[in-house]
Amino acid sequence: MSWSSYHRESRWSGFVRFLRRVWSFTWKACLTLLVPVLLAIAWYAYQANQFDLAEVTRMPARTVLIDREGLEFGSIHGENRRLVEYEEIPQFLKKCLFAREDARFLDHEGVDFLGLARASLRNLKDFDFTQGASTLSMQLARNTYDLREKKSLNRKFLEIALTYRVEAKFSKEEILRSYLNRIYFGSGCHGIEEAAQTYFGSPTARLSRGQCALLVGMIRAPHACSPRRNLKGALRQQAEVLARLVATAVITEEEAAAIKDSPLNLRTPDEGGLESSHGSRVLRRPLEIVLSNAQITSGGLRVITSIDFTVQAALEKMVSELALPIGCQIAALSLDPRNGDILGVVGCREERPTGFNRALDSRRDLGPAMIEPLIGTIALERGHLPIAGNPVATGRQLQERDAIQLLSRFGLEGKFQQGDDLYRGSLSVSLLELATAYATILQEGSRPAPVFIRELQREGKSLFRRPPAFYPAFSKHARLEVIPRYLSGLSLPKTDLWAAALSEEQVSVIWIGFDRPKRLQLTEELRETIRRKLDAISAK
């Protein structure tokens, strides 16, 4: 073998040995790295598996209050949220959302690795987590399970693991619907439907293109860019969304300009629709009787109430417009004698009521004019004739103990005074008790059970239903020959003014006085105004 031949073989064999060493190092290194990677994947998969996927579509909607004519007039408990179905989401809103938040939403399986790679390079450049590259699915997972930990690799890996579970469980339509129903849009609005109603007075399905772009633009900064706090900022976000749509050839520049120029029709905060603070507040108490605290606070109930919003609004308007002495309070209540429906309640002059409701919780003396129909009824029940205009003389025909028992049949709980003072109206009653008593007279002795809630529904299923109920109180022969259509009078110490308008369909009662009783001085003009307004409410 020549010297040159030996030299060439030596060089080749050295190169082979080098390749073998590189290969050996590479697969050992890969194996060394693969083990912790697989362990990490298993760990985050285990962590993600601890979360209940049902939470993705289960969200706390608010409890809405429906009046007896089917109008929504308020809400209580739960978050300020109304849910929207996928079919109600406008196509243009979807295009805005994809363009701004997740261009490949319909194509990826939860994680956009191209976007994630770009964000990772930017984060390395900035030496911080300035870019997140979260898809809509990842945002849904983060918001559903409240992953509020500061941006970190640990949170991101857990978010990714959860996102894969979400994508495996739900369709793209379900993910998009849950996302829009869950995210926050500022000004107390949780979900797209509540935002649409609050900002524009419109359901999601009827949003204009400009409104869609503005709402999508708010998603990244719902507090800072709420149109009620920062309209200029909200419009800047709208412009960014439209610019993105132009860049992706979804719309033209001319279309974007036309959308910017179109009116937004923003509602002002005082355009509150059918919201009624007094009507909403008063319903918390009966709800707490029917349901457990957990059932109430979880929200999502549809409460079919006895309230008639037209009557409720009229009572509130009357209370706010009456020119009363400084420090004087007022309460009003209307009831349907035919079934016991409480049509409206106002417990104070304040626009935002407290827990103390003077129509339900306060008891004050009646006075002769207001008690006379009651005394006349109990006299007829015992076979005596009422003496018109003289309840004391009428009452003296009865035994005092018997008279108190008969008055109790009206639903009055007292405190009852004795002797002639009782027949003069020294009897402490609430507005609800008095309205029920007058309703009993109108119903020929059958006392209706007052009711606030007729039915409770959740997800279309009835949880509770209460039909009208009546209790026999007096014989039909005890019905007054002439039932007064309007009553008004002061209590004996002249500290309380009462007034009532009676009809076959409605009993409306009002009380005026000071919380710490003192003599009232009311003009005849004010009394005539009260009569006129009560008559008008009773005719509704």
> Looking at residue 218, what is its pLDDT?
93
> Looking at residue 190, what is its pLDDT?
82
Cα dist from 183 to 145, 194, 262, whole Å: 12, 11, 26
Q: What is the pLDDT along the chain (540 residues), one digit of tens a residue?
A: 444 444 455 556 666 666 666 666 666 556 566 666 566 566 656 666 777 778 888 776 678 889 999 888 877 755 567 788 999 999 999 999 999 998 888 888 878 777 666 655 655 555 544 445 688 988 888 888 877 655 667 777 877 888 888 888 899 999 999 999 988 898 778 889 889 988 998 899 999 999 999 999 999 988 889 898 899 999 999 999 999 999 999 999 999 999 999 999 998 765 544 455 787 778 877 877 777 655 665 667 889 999 999 999 999 999 999 999 999 999 999 999 999 999 999 998 877 676 688 999 899 999 999 999 999 999 999 999 999 999 999 999 999 999 999 999 999 987 898 889 999 999 999 999 999 999 999 999 999 999 999 998 887 789 889 999 999 999 999 999 999 999 999 999 999 999 999 999 999 999 999 999 999 988 999 999 999 999 998 876
Task: Please state the domain extents for the chain.
Answer: 80-261, 314-538
> Looking at residue 40, what is its pLDDT?
57
Closest CA to 105 of 129, 133, 132: 133
> Looking at residue 16, what is its pLDDT?
62
Q: How far apart are CA 261 and CA 129, in angstroms?
A: 37
> Looking at residue 3, what is its pLDDT?
46
314-538 and 80-261 share a CATH fold: no
**Is the bond leading into 476 cis (omega within 30 degrees of zero)?**
no
Sign for the CA dihedral angle at 68, 70, 73, 74 comes to positive
- CA-atom Rg of the chain in angstroms: 36
Q: Are 166 and 140 in contact (CB under 8 A)?
A: yes
CATH of the domain spanning 80-261: 1.10.3810.10
382: which residues sit within 8 A by CB, 6+ positions away? 397, 398, 402, 406
Backbone angles phi, psi at 345, to 5 degrees: -145, 130
Contacts 24+ apart (CB under 8 A), 193-198: 193/81, 193/82, 193/83, 193/84, 193/88, 194/62, 194/80, 194/81, 194/82, 197/82, 197/273, 198/267
> Looking at residue 168, what is its pLDDT?
86
What is the pairing mode between strands 72-76 and 63-66? antiparallel
> Looking at residue 41, what is its pLDDT?
64
Q: Any bridge partners for residue 365, and if so which? A: 428
Q: How far apart are CA 223 and CA 218, in angstroms?
A: 8
> Looking at residue 6, what is its pLDDT?
45
Greatest Cα-to-Cα distance within the chain, rounded to the nearest angstrom = 149
The fold of the 314-538 domain, in CATH, is Beta-lactamase (3.40.710)
> Looking at residue 534, what is its pLDDT?
93
